[in-house]
Amino acid sequence: MERYTKEYLKHYEEQSFELHLIAARRRQVLKSLRAHPHANILEVGCGLEPLFLHIGDYTTFTVIEPSAEFVERAKALSSGRQNVKVIQGRLEQTVLRPAEARTFDFIVLSSLLHEVPDPAHLLRAVHSISGPDTTTHINVPNVYSFHRLLALEMGLIDSAFDRSQTEARFQRHTRFDMLSLIRLVEDQRFRVMSSGTYFVKPFSNEQMDQILRHGIVDTKVIEGLERMIRYLPEMGSEMYVEVRPA
């Protein structure tokens, strides 16, 4: 966890391309959240920017985060917000009191499922605290992202499922395509209400960093790439599902 935290912080220190993906990811989460009841929200893993900073129409907001540094930052950012609770720990370790379970309208698992050693275990924990109408938003990288398929056709990788440098750097455990993601959530007794991909990324994060830093493209190009998903709906760099208990 300490190594992961340090690597994550580098995105902000270096102002890397990943910050654009973080922003696109957040926009997708917020779009999902606003489409469903969300009076009582649970965010599992918050990083440096908890979602409560970007939305205000909730009754309660609970954050569960294993990183001590991220927890301290979330607590500082939630100062004065009486309806926000920040808990250090892992959801799989049952850090919620029984009275808190099954009270959430909306649960966020953003950029998390692929990073845990046992995704099924985490999903079982989510299911155990979900009521029949609880919506869970899950997003993960897409192995059939445009940039991975380009690398495959260039002969740089043997399979779209090959481990990337970014995945090695952040100790990511699992790679998903939409079929395997849907199969996993359905195996854990969820039903998929909607799904999709977002943000067309033509090159690797490292290459995108270099392109931005050398001024080859500007933020208008980045915004255009995000909108390109309407033409390449299955090739976004990340994908999401919205699920409820089956």
Strands 190-198 and 238-245: antiparallel
Rama region for 155: left / alpha / beta (φ>0; ψ in -120 to 50; rest): left
Task: Give the CATH superfamily of 2-245.
Answer: Vaccinia Virus protein VP39 (3.40.50.150)
Query: Which of 35-39, 70-74, 89-93, 143-147 is least confident?
Result: 89-93
Q: pLDDT band for position 111 (50/70/90)? A: very high
Q: What does 165-232 look like in DSSP terms, one character per residue?
A: HHHHHTT------HHHHHHHHHHTTEEEEEEEEE----S-HHHHHHHHHTTSS-HHHHHHHHHGGGTS
The stretch 131-136 carries a mean pLDDT of 96
pLDDT tens digits for 218-240? 999 999 999 999 999 999 999 99
Q: pLDDT band for position 149 (50/70/90)? A: very high
Say yes or no to pLDDT of 151 above 70: yes
Q: In whole angstroms, give the CA distance from residue 40 to residue 150.
A: 41
pLDDT tens digits for 156-215? 988 888 876 665 554 556 899 999 999 999 999 999 999 999 999 999 999 999 999 899
- Cβ neighbour number for residue 154 with a 10 Å cutoff: 8
Give me the percent of the chain exceeding a pLDDT of 70.
89
What pLDDT score was predicted for residue 75? Answer: 97
The domain ranges of the chain are 2-245
Q: pLDDT band for position 4 (50/70/90)? A: low
Q: Which of 89, 86, 66 is nearest to 75 (CA)?
A: 86
Q: Which residue has the tokens 């050693």?
A: 117
What pLDDT score was predicted for residue 10? Answer: 62
Distance set, CA 243 to CA 125, 205, 240 (Å):
14, 29, 10
The stretch 100-129 carries a mean pLDDT of 92
Q: Which of 220, 205, 236 is nearest to 15 (CA)?
A: 205
What pLDDT score was predicted for residue 70? Answer: 93
What pLDDT score was predicted for residue 95? Answer: 72
Average pLDDT, the chain: 90
Say yes or no to pLDDT of 7 above 70: no
What pLDDT score was predicted for residue 97? Answer: 72
Say yes or no to pLDDT of 103 above 90: no
Say yes or no to pLDDT of 8 above 70: no
What pLDDT score was predicted for residue 164? Answer: 67
Q: In whole angstroms, give the CA distance from residue 210 to residue 204.
A: 10
